[in-house]
Amino acid sequence: MGPMAGRPATYSRLSGPEEVVLCRYIDRFDRINFAVRTGFVTDAANYILAQRCSCAEQPNPPVVGAN
């Protein structure tokens, strides 16, 4: 079996562009010297996931885990 580097995560909830948006969100906090809390990142990721799926398609959108 080859190295894991370069392979996409198996259980990733966010797509590549969504992860980029989340990283920009974190960078914005960092630029203004605001403490980035885990809860902020979790809430932002869950918001992105909720916006991606329509309520008509899926009543309970996926959420990110603790890790």
**pLDDT band at residue 64 under the 50/70/90 scheme:** confident
The pTM for the full model equals: 0.75
- Distance, in Å, from the CA atom of 49 to the CA atom of 42, rounded to the nearest integer, reads 11
- What is the C-alpha separation between 33 and 55, in angstroms, rounded? 36
* pLDDT, position 65: 81
pLDDT single digits (tens) 1-58: 556 677 767 778 888 899 999 999 999 999 999 988 999 999 999 999 888 876 656 6
Query: Phi-psi category of 21—alpha, beta or left, where left has phi over 0 and alpha has psi -120 to 50?
Result: alpha
Reported confidence tier of residue 66, pLDDT bands at 50, 70, 90:
confident
Q: Which residues contact 40 (CB under 8 A, 6 or more apart)?
A: 29
CB–CB of 13/49 below 8 Å?
yes
